Amino acid sequence: MSRVVLDLDAEGNPVDPTTGQAVRGAAVAGFLDRHLAVPETATDIVVLVHGWRNTPATALARAERFIAVIDGAYGPRYPALPWACHYVIVRWPSQSSPFLRGYRRVRDRAHLMSTTGHAADVLAQLLGYLNTNRTRPNGTLRTAGGQYLHLIGHSFGCRFLAEAIQWAAESRPGTLGWNRADPRYPYAADTLVLFQMAAPHDSLTQRFPRLVADSPIAGPVVLTHATTDRAVGLWHRLAESTPGVGFRGATLPPDQITPTRLHRLDEPYTAADFPTPVVNVDATWRFRKGHRLLPAGAHADIIHPESAHLILSLAHLAR
pLDDT at 76 over 80: no
CA distance 73 to 309: 7
Residue 274 pLDDT more than 80?
Answer: yes
Q: Say how many domains are in the chain.
A: 1
3-state helix, strand, coil in the chain (%, to 5): 35, 20, 45
| Rounded Cα distance, 46 and 74, in Å | 14
Percent with pLDDT over 70 in the chain: 92
Please give the single-letter amino acid code of residue 304.
H
In angstroms, the Cα distances linking 189 to 147, 237, 279, 285 are: 10, 31, 17, 29
The pLDDT tens digits for 224-241 are 999 999 989 988 888 888
Q: What are phi and psi of 194, to 5 degrees?
A: -115, 105
Is this structure's pTM higher than 0.85? Answer: yes
Please give the residue that has the higher pLDDT: either 89 or 97: 89
Look up the CATH number of the domain holding residue 48: 3.40.50
CA distance linking residue 161 with residue 165, whole number of Å: 6
Choose between 11 and 141: higher pLDDT.
Answer: 11
Is the confidence at residue 79, as pLDDT, over 70? yes
Q: Quickly state the pLDDT bin for 272 (edges 50, 70, 90).
A: very high
C-alpha closest to that of 162 among 126, 112, 212: 212
Residue 25, SS3 per DSSP: coil
Q: How confident is the model at residue 182 (pLDDT cuts 50, 70, 90)?
A: low
pLDDT grade for 140, boundaries at 50, 70 and 90: very low
Is residue 319 packed enough to be buried (19+ CB in 10 Å), middle (13-18) or exposed (0-12)? middle
- What is the domain extent for residue 58? 2-317
Task: Note the pLDDT tens digit of each residue in 154-169.
Answer: 999 998 888 888 777 6
Q: What is the mean pLDDT of the chain?
A: 87
Q: Who wins on pLDDT, 29 or 6?
A: 6
